Amino acid sequence: MEGAELVSMALESGTPVESVYVAPEGRSNPAVTVVVEQVFAAGGRVFDLAPGVIERISDTVSPQPIIAVVGFGAPPLADLDQASMVVVCVDVRDPGNAGTIIRTADAAGVDAVVCCDGTVDPTNPKTVRASAGSLFHIPVVVGGDAGTVIEQLRAWGLTIVGSGVRDGGDYATFDWCQRVAVLFGNEASGLDAPMRRVLDASVSIPMVGRTESLNVSVAAAVLCFEALRQRRAAGIGPGPRATGPPRGSTMQGMEGVPGGPAEPMGDGHGERAR
């Protein structure tokens, strides 16, 4: 991962930071200096890089002056047996979309995100950046056949809901106060026919403009925050937290940060209003 802010979030969450690599200009950056001292005090290794090295190992155009190797322990699906709301990514391929969905789920008070087989690895560097630290705040289950995951979630009493362009009910009239697992499919094609056949309900987002669909991470934001709105109105779940970037944020230059989804794509989500 890149950036002092993300490394600081990892430390605050108790995630082990194995090592950090600091560009020469990073030593004069106060935020980097603080993080380096924290990593060293926690037993992590600190390496100073020669000029130009960080530009060669980073996959961003304007890399942050600090890169870290951080441990990640994904929880098992069994940990979600008492979950009230779960977001399930089925074949979400774009790392920016996946990271933004994780960030959105965290912001909306969702209990967990499941990245089924075929979905991009949530530890992909672009996904980590787009999650803006939420990867350390919300359980993210990695892997599992989508059909098996859905069968298990249903066995625990969750209603299985899918989002789609058409043929779904209005998302705003759906009862989001029940225990629910909401599925988001591939960016280009949405949920395939076998997945749609196992749904308990399908919802769509009415649209009045000329676009054919919404980006999958935007669709996730609309549905997750509608669920939060209904649950707050019913007195269910935690209250809202303050919004906006934390003080001293050094997240500039990261995809999907701050605010808004990365790389808009057509993705089979949302419905044109008639």
pLDDT value of residue 243: 41
Read off the pLDDT of each residue in 224-249 and give the average, rounded to a whole number.
71
For CATH 3.40.1280.10, the residue range(s) in the chain are: 77-233
**Neighbour tally for 55: CB within 10 Å:** 13
User: Is residue 60 within 8 Å of 154, Cβ to Cβ?
Assistant: no
CA dist 51 and 30 (Å) reads 19
User: Is residue 77 within 8 Å of 114, Cβ to Cβ?
Assistant: yes
CA dist 228 and 222 (Å) reads 10
Q: What is the pLDDT of residues 97-122, one digit of tens each?
A: 999 999 999 999 999 999 999 999 99
What's the residue count for the chain?
A: 274
CA dist 128 and 148 (Å) reads 26
Alpha carbons within 13 angstroms on the beta-carbon side of residue 243 total 8
| Distance from chain centroid for Cα 91 | 14
Read off the pLDDT of each residue in 21-35 and give the average, rounded to a whole number.
94
| Distance from chain centroid for Cα 155 | 25
9, with CB counted inside 10 A (0-12, 13-18, 19+), is buried
Query: How confident is the prediction for the chain on average, in pLDDT?
Result: 86
Residue that is written with structure tokens 């890149």 in the block: 2
CA dist 144 and 198 (Å) reads 16
User: Is residue 237 within 8 Å of 117, Cβ to Cβ?
Assistant: no
> What is the DSSP secondary structure assignment for residue 226, as one 8-state letter?
H
Q: What is the pLDDT of residues 143-199, one digit of tens each?
A: 999 999 999 999 999 999 998 777 789 999 999 999 999 999 998 888 999 999 999
Query: Residue type for 79, please?
Result: D
CA dist 76 and 80 (Å) reads 8
| pLDDT grade for 269, boundaries at 50, 70 and 90 | low
| pLDDT grade for 248, boundaries at 50, 70 and 90 | very low
Residues in CB range of 119: below 8 A, 6 or more apart: 89, 90, 91, 92, 93, 98
| Distance from chain centroid for Cα 129 | 10
Query: 77-233 adopts what CATH topology?
Result: Alpha/beta knot (3.40.1280)
Strand residue runs (E) in 128-224: 140-142, 159-163, 169-170, 180-184, 201-204, 206-207
> What is the rounded radius of gyration, in angstroms, for the C-alpha atoms of the chain?
19
Alpha carbons within 13 angstroms on the beta-carbon side of residue 46 total 20
| Distance from chain centroid for Cα 227 | 17
CA dist 98 and 124 (Å) reads 10
